Amino acid sequence: MIIGVTGAYSSGKDCVADILIKMNFYHVSFSDILRDELKKRKMKITRDRLISIGNELRTKHGPDILAKLALKRVRDGENHVFTSVRNPHEVKLLQQRKDFIMINVVAPETVRFKRILKRNRESDPKTLKELREKEALENSTNPNAQQLGTVAQMAKITVKNDSTLEILEKKTRKLVEDQIFKLQDKRPNWDYYFMNIAEAVKMRCTCMSAKKGAIIVKNKQIVSTGYNGTPKRIRHCNAGACERCTSRHLGKMKSGIYAKPCICAHAEENSIVQAAHNGISTKDAILYTTFTPCNTCARMIINAGILEVVAKVAYPDDVGTKLLRNAGVKLRVLK
């Protein structure tokens, strides 16, 4: 999971981040990304320069650039806390992930000001008026600048921090316990799982026509795969072996004209033949294909005993579709 933390001056957002780090969360600070950029330019690191360089990067590379750079630091299978998130476009990008949640740490202004005075940092505001002025600078209406107020409004959870550090830690740990299982990536259903594999299979295609891929599945297990291309031990179509495909790509023949034969086998055809070659039954199987089958492949599917065809794109061949329907083979096109 990734927890984004925002909040006003001395609200306790860094304390929440420290608690999460103690819980083995990896810390990714957007400010550290900006510090690294200032170091590259051999510039002194100040708060004003951090704000300036952040605005510059957003203007040059888009308002969500820091979020993109932060995601490059994410380790698969680990928990992360993102801090210094200051632009709504950064939040929008992160919210596309199922494992991300934005939280806003809040505390009354008087409490926050007391904390500021107590820590006594040189760059901190010394009066309430100065505090309000500094916070106003971080609430711009410029889409490429800091918009802390808008970011806070986008948070799904608000953590109130007006008491002790011990209570804040309890709240933070409870938040993680409540969200840890909700923020897991959802698995694709079986249809999209197998179709994505068919999409990968089609990348092996050697035909100069559109790439197509197919897989045959029984009991949720893949028994064979196929893609369109020339037969075994025959020179590949994309190396000039198929006269029809070569003529078409040289502009000597229009697409859809079959005056010259194509020597390439279709993806569905190859998946069925590969199963036969390896002695695997296709009876009662499901075939996943990136295109609905043509007339020839439909006939093979029927005779191979395949019960269902799941396709990604509808191919303009009504003959094949009608054959499947008349033979009682179920055909579905994924939405």
In one-letter notation, the amino acid at residue 96 is Q
12, 18, 48 from 300: Cα distances, Å: 67, 63, 70
Residue 202's CB is within 10 A of a number of other CB atoms, namely 22
Q: What is the mean pLDDT of residues 216-234?
A: 92
Q: Does position 121 have pLDDT exceeding 90, yes or no?
A: no
Candidates 30, 147, 138, 141; CA nearest to 82 is: 30
The torsion angles phi and psi of 144, rounded to 5 degrees, stand at -100, 5
Q: Does position 319 have pLDDT exceeding 80, yes or no?
A: yes
Q: What is the mean pLDDT of residues 212-235?
A: 93
Query: Looking at the chain, which runs of residues are DSSP E strands?
Result: 2-7, 26-29, 80-83, 100-106, 157-160, 213-218, 221-227, 286-291, 308-313, 330-333
Residue of 296 and 317 predicted with greater confidence: 296
Catalytic position from the list 37, 90, 268, 269: 268
Task: Count CA atoms closer than 13 A to 60's CA, side-chain side.
Answer: 7
Confidence band, pLDDT 50/70/90 cuts, at residue 258: low
* Tokens encoding 313: 């794109």
Tens digit of pLDDT for each residue in 7-20? 988 899 999 999 99
Alpha-helix runs per DSSP H in 202-279: 243-249, 267-277
- Return the SS3 of 159: strand
pLDDT the model gives residue 185: 77
139, β-bridge pairs: 147
In one-letter notation, the amino acid at residue 27 is H
Q: Does residue 243 have an active-site annotation? A: no
